[in-house]
Amino acid sequence: MYFKKAEQELIKTDKLKSFSVIGDPGCEGVGIVMMQTYASALTAAEDDDMILIAGDMVPAGNRHFYETAKNLTEAVAKKDVYTLKGNHDTGDYEKYCGLADYVIRGKDFSIAVLDNASRRFSDKGLELLGRELEEQEVKQVVIAFHIPVPNHFTGNAVSDEEFARLRKVYGPYKDKVSYLLCGHVHSRFEDEVDGIPFICTGGGGAFIEDVSEDIRACDVDHHIVRFFLKEGKLSHRVVDLEGIPYSREVQDKVLREEIEGALAGELMAHFKYLTYADRARRRGYEKTANLFEALAESEYRHARSFYNLIEKHTAFTSEADKYTAREKFEAENLYPMLSEYASGQGKILCSQAFSDAGEAEKVHARLLSEVSENIEGYPHDTIYVCPVCGYVMAGEQAPERCPVCGAPSKSFKKFSEAQNRD
């Protein structure tokens, strides 16, 4: 059993030389995308002696969510996993995870796990921390909690008065405190609080968010934080998860084939529902169109879950390169060849379909090449798509008619940065 329940306030171990911290794996749900990131985090942490979840293991505290997280943890983890209580870890937390305030003590350092999920440290937890710091054999302590204490990067923190309660306890033993550690904020930043290294890590599953102008979501990857002894002192290192994909699920050949089939089926259903919704809306059946658009969105989410299981993602900044090569192949080789073959067989509509797609793929390849060269400074604010043949046009103004099929500009679908912000 690797999913551990803290059943006593003091947990002693002789096998604690290192540990990893995973922040907020299930805060936004226990769907495949989040749980696959969590599985990657568990895989990245398997060389350490222990793993600590920095809160929000689940999105809400019911049995189903805890069982989902527990079952995955048991299937993937190779080391003991303890959980720190987050503001989403309600309901059955004690049944599955045990105490919210406890200490894990090794020979070289202790981890004091404190409950501040309600933005207040419990009296019991502060008393426990005080007792641990008083112990002469304890030389280094990591104080871990969910919601940050006041810092230089985010206002999403406990009050100054609440931090003062914590500081009052560790103050006389400040030289023993190696780190202040938290989750809650879906990002990563490091600071110094009261002269103590402070690490916030919330990148173990939840979608990464902007913290400030200085700490943007695009600059932070999903990650874990590893803590280890270096010349007798605790040190740390951040490990990004993009290079550590979790692929154990599809090593079974039968399952991989079934997942690929399910992916194709879900994508076809997504397309069919969108097509029917478009037809319904043109006839004025708005409610029917709305239903089928919702069904299409649902099928897309299913497809995304299956896709994430089989696709090996590359680093985000280099992802566009992977798509560019495919678009070039389709534009320069595949579709011209198929168009010529169809024409030779007298299948004019098939020939036109391949030809039109090939013209669009040329633009796709060019636009993808531009974005891969400068992903942050991509120049085009507005993109237009012809709803008839799918031709793509970049620029502030669209042409009067689609250059491929002749559809009028009034029918083009517009994609703009301002529109997305709205």
Q: Could you read off the pLDDT of 237-269 as tens digits, one per residue?
A: 999 998 777 777 778 889 889 999 999 999 999
DSSP letter at 69 equals H
Q: Could you say which of 3.40.50.300, 2.60.40.1480, 3.60.21.10, 3.30.470.20 is the CATH number of the domain covering 10-240?
A: 3.60.21.10
* 354 phi and psi angles, rounded to 5 deg: -65, -40
Residue 419: predicted pLDDT: 56
What's the mean pLDDT in 170-193?
97
Confidence tier at 9 by pLDDT (50, 70, 90): very high
Q: Is the pLDDT of residue 187 over 70?
A: yes
CA-CA distance, 340 to 342, in Å (whole number)?
6
CATH class of 250-313: mainly alpha
Extract the tokens encoding 98. 């045990």
Residue 418: predicted pLDDT: 58
What's the mean pLDDT in 11-26?
95
CA-CA distance, 111 to 413, in Å (whole number)?
55
Architecture label for domain 380-422: Single Sheet (2.20)
Q: Is the pLDDT of residue 316 over 70?
A: no
Residue 374: predicted pLDDT: 77
Confidence tier at 372 by pLDDT (50, 70, 90): confident
DSSP letter at 330 equals I
Burial 56-94 (b: 16+ CB within 10 A, else e): bbbbbbeeebbebbbebbeebbebbbbbbbbbbbeebbe
DSSP letter at 45 equals T
Residue 244: predicted pLDDT: 75
Confidence tier at 422 by pLDDT (50, 70, 90): very low
- Tokens 């809306």 locate to 281
* pTM confidence score: 0.84
Residue 103: predicted pLDDT: 98
What's the mean pLDDT in 34-54?
94
Identify whether the C-beta of residue 76 lies closer than 8 Å to the C-beta of residue 136.
no
Extract the tokens encoding 42. 């568990």
CA-CA distance, 290 to 277, in Å (whole number)?
7
Residue 313: predicted pLDDT: 62
* 130 phi and psi angles, rounded to 5 deg: -60, -40
Extract the tokens encoding 387. 């709803």
77-81, 133-137, 230-234, 386-390: segment of lowest average pLDDT: 386-390
